[in-house]
Structure 1
């Protein structure tokens, strides 16, 4: 894959007009209040993870609609008190998998909370444990999740996922191993988009975060993505609109409530993004659109940075980005200590 998007200089200045619905904040306040009508019912059950240096807890809590959402909480072995915490969201089709597969941040000395994405976990070898049993899941849509319920923001799949993500923060804060004042969110691809949404919505839920670290984030600047890439998962939307020709405006209106550009504007905490300039799945201009708008609500003084991987596709920085995050998380948590 060659570099197909804007030049890096133009990307750094790229601030497209991404219309936000007038009731964006009200919609999300209502959605979060609706979820809070159900008791969080967070449970943390210790399991044998077959590891010597990490302890793991099987997590269940009530997400959107009271649905049980699964996750893992990893902590350094023998932990007895609260720790700085990294909450992580998964990429598209990924699930929480086996407890030994993803626990880097616990190895670094933090509590590490991982949220299952409802209905996913089917293609990575990391099976999920959270079905999407919403009544809306069966509405007309293209195969996949991108168009499930897309005719109305009330029924769209990612309304459930984004609320689940905020509820994950609430659940994490209930653990005695989690310092509720020292939490950052992270994730790659879909997980990056969810982390941006969580950072934007946390304030509406009265949750104080310390930072947000989205890698090659998905779910940003939908309209631009559909114009310049036919790769999945964005391709699911294209295929849907190819058939349902009369729903283009309706679909774009719905997507505007979930766009990382619009939700990232609401964020008020520091951020460390990453982007890959040969990424045809999450095109660079969509990532920079979200990065450049991120924190607009907090003004120009918000601290943010973006790591650029010039010759990588959607894999992005991988271990290089994790190395950068290890430094960034340490600085974020130290500044709060």
Structure 2
């Protein structure tokens, strides 16, 4: 079997390279405390984008930290009562996608919410003095601010929690049956949400992004989705005078350090030829999860559709019903 990373036996025990800030737990405790102060405002507007005989579809907008308006598609079965919840998160720079993709879960009784990440390819706002989106560059956004709370992914991780809290507040949903899923950036947000919202019961993540930044850079794979790491160092620290401080600061938004907080039953899908989100970075997070977990491994696949994995995800998430 060809390899771009460590042999599988080493992956199964790998615990990551990126440093964990000494005040990591305090950082996220304060972040959640800030989120608690955000007034739970939202609007729910019927959408005409798609018509299904068994579903009601809405444009949902809720308030996130920093005054952002966060958009999500929200679909529920007609006449829903005490329904399970599924939150979906998209890949880097993209958006919530097409409505029809959620209808299979709605047909099985789920209330489904699919969030647009702030400032990327969807409708969520990114307050920062101008209108419009930034699409990417979000990993390094806030690195040069003295206050690490300005890291943009801190806000995005908190948005996943606010989405969960918002959907849980709806009278048709059951807070005890909450599941989350996504791939790449969506996989990272799946894990972040499960780590920061303890009511998540099931989490399915396909090749999660935002894990073990230093390992990505050391593998010379700070390209494609991670290319902003190389861009930042070449433009802002060409002699690497502050490189270790950079990675330590990124440790606040490193999924591997949030992973021990996860209580949900967790499913991973990983391709061992992934040169976008290297397998070792995914294992760095997976190996730190102490909750019930399993990983589906695809030896010859990279950062692409993993044959049959979404079927496994569907069956896995049915357990929350």
TM-score normalised by the chain length of structure 1: 0.86
| Alignment partners' CA distance in 2, 1:143 and 1:71 | 19
Residues 142, 51 of structure 1: CA spacing in aligned structure 2 closer, same or farther, 3 A cutoff? closer
Deviates further, 17-26 or 189-198: 17-26
Residues 232-264 of structure 1: CA deviation (Å, up to 9, x unaligned): 221111111122114423321221011111001
Aligned pair 1:130/2:124, yes or no? yes
Aligned pair 1:235/2:223, yes or no? no
Once the two structures are superposed, the pairs formed by residues 157-306 of structure 1 within 5 Å of their partners are 157-203=152-198, 208-228=199-219, 229-245=221-237, 246-295=241-290, 302-306=291-295
8 Å contact from structure 1 (residues 136, 149) kept in 2: no
Q: Which residue of 1 aligns with 2:5?
A: 5
Aligned to 1:265, what secondary structure does the other structure show?
A: helix
Residues 134, 105 of structure 1: CA spacing in aligned structure 2 closer, same or farther, 3 A cutoff? farther
Aligned to 2:38, what secondary structure does the other structure show?
A: coil
8 Å contact from structure 1 (residues 216, 316) kept in 2: no
Deviates further, 84-93 or 237-246: 237-246
Residues 143, 105 of structure 1: CA spacing in aligned structure 2 closer, same or farther, 3 A cutoff? closer
Once the two structures are superposed, the pairs formed by residues 67-86 of structure 1 within 5 Å of their partners are 67-76=68-77, 78-86=78-86
| Alignment partners' CA distance in 1, 2:99 and 2:136 | 29
Aligned pair 1:307/2:283, yes or no? no
Residues 134, 222 of structure 1: CA spacing in aligned structure 2 closer, same or farther, 3 A cutoff? same
- CA apart distance, 1:176: 2.2
Aligned to 1:257, what secondary structure does the other structure show?
A: helix
8 Å contact from structure 1 (residues 184, 210) kept in 2: yes
| Alignment partners' CA distance in 1, 2:315 and 2:151 | 37
Aligned to 1:293, what secondary structure does the other structure show?
A: coil
Aligned residues: 313
Aligned to 1:175, what secondary structure does the other structure show?
A: coil
Residues 104, 251 of structure 1: CA spacing in aligned structure 2 closer, same or farther, 3 A cutoff? farther
Aligned to 2:174, what secondary structure does the other structure show?
A: strand
Aligned to 1:290, what secondary structure does the other structure show?
A: helix
Deviates further, 272-281 or 18-27: 18-27
Greater relative contact order (Cα < 8 A, sep 6+): 2
Residues 143, 263 of structure 1: CA spacing in aligned structure 2 closer, same or farther, 3 A cutoff? closer
Q: Which residue of 1 aligns with 2:89?
A: 89
Aligned to 1:100, what secondary structure does the other structure show?
A: helix
Residues 243, 252 of structure 1: CA spacing in aligned structure 2 closer, same or farther, 3 A cutoff? same
Residues 170-205 of structure 1: CA deviation (Å, up to 9, x unaligned): 1111122321111011110001111111111114xx
| Alignment partners' CA distance in 2, 1:231 and 1:253 | 20
Aligned to 2:166, what secondary structure does the other structure show?
A: helix
8 Å contact from structure 1 (residues 69, 130) kept in 2: yes
Q: Which residue of 2 aligns with 1:321?
A: 309
Aligned to 2:222, what secondary structure does the other structure show?
A: coil
| Alignment partners' CA distance in 2, 1:217 and 1:324 | 17
In structure 2, stretches of 5+ residues that fail to align are none
